[in-house]
Structure 1
Amino acid sequence: MMNKFLYTIVAASITIGAYAQKSDGTTKSLLKAEKEFAEILAKNGAKVAFTTYSADNGLVFRPNPVNAKTYYATQGDTKDLSWTPAYARVSKSGDWGFTTGPYIYKGTETAYGEYFSLWKVNDGKWQLVLDLGTEHNKPLNKPTNEFIEPKEFYKPKFLNDKQREAGANIIATTEKTLNATLKSYGISAFAGFVNPDVRVLFPGYEPILGKDKALAFFNSMISKVALKTTKIDKADGGDFAYSYGVAAVDYKADLRESFNYVFVYERQADHNWNLISIVFTPADR
């Protein structure tokens, strides 16, 4: 099995060599890498695509987070997955970005949903760091594309691991405060932590866009959320950060369910960190 997998990668290497996935610090370059990733999958299959484009420590949520290269080395191949970015952002440091949009999986039955992918730059190339998705019925709404370029470029020249850790700790404190507030005041606590342009991906629903709609959605069905953070990472530009972990969701219908979550934070002018992306996907517990 492994030899066959490696042979498949080598056989496709000539084709893949034409794809650079290079980063020039722009959202446009990230979208280009994402497009090339989708083209490789359509032509050579998911094994080759994810092995080529994932970072060595990249994770896919299937449903729980697992190393992408390890996972696809042992999975049956598929060319039936396609997706289209609808929203993309890149940090002003040019080394960190994310995309999200609709996907279609044409298996035994056609499945629809929304994907979320987070990318980082390594040796000048975009690499997939996190990939997950939420499934819903055939969409009724056509997505409105929004691809936002960084307003400026800023990357500290002498940033070390200790400073990066200190930066991540700021986000950890924000998330701890959010978690404590959610426990004390229920789901309405999200109101103080989300941006006006927040995007929520939740299983069974098309994207929920904007603070008002997000809060109305949460308040209609959820009473409490408890977060257990696994990892936090901050862009070197200091404008974006992400976290992922496990969330216990208590519904108003007296039901509890476990989810994996990914949050994306954006630093505001007042130095607070607000959520601009909230993704929940079912966890296997």
Structure 2
Amino acid sequence: MKLTLLLALLLCALQAANTRDEALEDLANAEHRFAATSVKKGFHQAFVEHLAGDGLVFAPSPTNGKKLHAEAPESKALLTWYPAYADISSSLDWGYTTGPYAFKAAPEDTATAGAGFYLSVWKKQPDGQWKVAIDMGNSFAPNLLKEEVYRPAPAPENKPAKGTTEGLLTQDVKPVQPYFEETLIYRHGAYPVKYKDVIIEPAANVRYSNLGHDLSPAADMAYTYGRYSQPTAKGTETGYYLKVWRVLGGEWRLVAHNLVPERK
């Protein structure tokens, strides 16, 4: 009897793992299709086809990305990218991807004009298709680009706990952010780095003003976005942020923290 029960539980666990792995692979494939459309039809059309109807991009303020790119003038520029990392909520219909991108003024150019790392949150639509809900990229010098190997996030060891909206928004505006070892930190002009590898502790004098948020249906992952300001030696830096969160140890913790300053 005990052996039968144990085998049944093991089978359920394996089926759940397979379901999650398949959903995560499906999400990564959606990102690859998005990038392939950019090469085939141009990046404006790619965003039109792969953003949700209410999907946001930062230009520099948060704006409807589908409308922005649909109305943009035709461009010969080539924007390429690929996912280096992806994770998914236990609801299997909400997740995020991140990876390097490169920009050329024309496809035939040998020189890369711009580069950076993107952060995109995806939501599965009623028709079963993955669409981008919000997207923000940081930028750095093209010579900092390096080849990344795709790594899907491992499945959580324990059943994810649920977080609350109140708890999320409280954490979002704290000057000292709830990082953990694997938090990916994006900063303008620099290649993203994990918190465990930072040399200088991230500034604790940043002030955040939330403009929006969304939780996965399972309430185990979320994103927040808004404005930030930070005193610097050259004056006050202002810009926009996008953060991705996961419930770890019963609390909301940052898994990705992106700050993009406004251009002066």
Q: How does 1:13-162 map to 2 (within 5 A)?
A: 26-78=23-75, 80-107=78-105, 110-123=113-126, 124-137=128-141, 138-139=143-144, 141-148=146-153, 150-151=155-156
Contact 1:33 1:126 in 2 (8 A): yes
Partners of 1:75 and 1:232 lie apart in 2 by 27
Structure 1 stretches (4+) deviating beyond 4 angstroms? 149-155
Partners of 1:53 and 1:153 lie apart in 2 by 32
Q: TM-score, normalised by structure 1?
A: 0.75
Contact 1:249 1:259 in 2 (8 A): no
Contact 2:214 2:224 in 1 (8 A): yes
**Deviation of 1:167 (Å):** 3.2
Contact 1:199 1:207 in 2 (8 A): yes
Aligned partner of residue 144 in structure 2, secondary structure: coil
State percent identity of aligned pairs. Answer: 28
Equivalent position amino acid for 1:136 in 2: F
**Deviation of 1:210 (Å):** 2.6
Aligned partner of residue 194 in structure 1, secondary structure: coil
Q: What are the superposed Cα offsets for residues 111-151 of structure 1, whole Å, 9 maximum, x if unpaired? A: 11111111101121101111111110122644353211544
1:216 counterpart residue number: 200
Partners of 2:228 and 2:204 lie apart in 1 by 13
Query: What stretches of structure 2 of length at least 5 have no aligned partner?
Result: 1-19, 107-111
Partners of 2:184 and 2:149 lie apart in 1 by 13
1:205 counterpart residue number: 190
2:17 counterpart residue number: none
Q: What are the superposed Cα offsets for residues 161-208 of structure 1, whole Å, 9 maximum, x if unpaired? A: xxx9x93223112224x2xxx2xxxxxx33xx1111000111100011
- C-alpha distance 282-28 of structure 1, shift in aligned 2 (>3 A): same
Aligned partner of residue 63 in structure 1, secondary structure: coil
Contact 2:100 2:145 in 1 (8 A): no
Contact 1:63 1:283 in 2 (8 A): yes
Contact 1:92 1:153 in 2 (8 A): no
- C-alpha distance 80-195 of structure 1, shift in aligned 2 (>3 A): same
Query: What stretches of structure 1 of length at least 5 have no aligned partner?
Result: 1-22, 156-163, 183-188
Contact 1:136 1:204 in 2 (8 A): yes
Aligned partner of residue 165 in structure 2, secondary structure: helix
Partners of 1:125 and 1:154 lie apart in 2 by 26
Q: What are the superposed Cα offsets for residues 63-113 of structure 1, whole Å, 9 maximum, x if unpaired? A: 221101110122123450000111111111011111111100001761111
Equivalent position amino acid for 1:50 in 2: F
- C-alpha distance 134-216 of structure 1, shift in aligned 2 (>3 A): same
Partners of 2:195 and 2:121 lie apart in 1 by 21
Please say which of residues 133-142 and 84-93 is displaced more in the overlay.
133-142
- C-alpha distance 32-154 of structure 1, shift in aligned 2 (>3 A): farther
- Paired residue total: 236
1:273 aligns with 2:258: no
Contact 1:25 1:90 in 2 (8 A): no
Partners of 1:273 and 1:154 lie apart in 2 by 15
Contact 1:64 1:284 in 2 (8 A): no
2:109 counterpart residue number: none
Partners of 1:39 and 1:141 lie apart in 2 by 20
Contact 2:116 2:145 in 1 (8 A): no
- C-alpha distance 77-149 of structure 1, shift in aligned 2 (>3 A): farther
Partners of 2:29 and 2:140 lie apart in 1 by 26
Equivalent position amino acid for 1:167 in 2: T
Aligned partner of residue 72 in structure 2, secondary structure: coil
Contact 1:25 1:95 in 2 (8 A): no
Please say which of residues 91-100 and 42-51 is displaced more in the overlay.
42-51
**Which structure has the highest helix share of the two?**
1
**Deviation of 1:62 (Å):** 1.7
Aligned partner of residue 190 in structure 2, secondary structure: coil
